[in-house]
Amino acid sequence: MPINDRQDETWQAIEQIEKGLRRMSQPMLLLRFRPGAVLGPARIRWLLDQIPNLDISDCGRGLHYVQEDNPKAIAEAIGQWLQPPCTN
């Protein structure tokens, strides 16, 4: 992550990744927690605009160590996301 606006090697790597997001065709799942520590609403909207096949699952409360805050919600969200769609 850029620190003090330095555009170092890490900053350049993140920039390259962000430039390639629109070309990512595989389905992706973003687990959202509230209040969250890293991804706020504006960044989530930006990711939705950038990644064509992005699904978001709201996993409830969590801050920084979300796997400790809400492990059951994480397991349920991933399990539901991996389920094949129902066909009648």
Q: Which residue has the tokens 């969250």?
A: 36
Give the model's pLDDT for residue 3: 59
> Which secondary structure element, helix H or strand E, spans residue 39, and what is its range?
none
Instruction: Give the chain's residues under pLDDT 70.
Output: 1-6, 87-88
**No. of helices (H) and no. of strands (E), the chain:** 4, 2
Alpha helices (H) along the chain: 9-20, 41-50, 66-69, 71-82
Beta bridge partners of 61: 34
pTM value surpassing 0.95: no
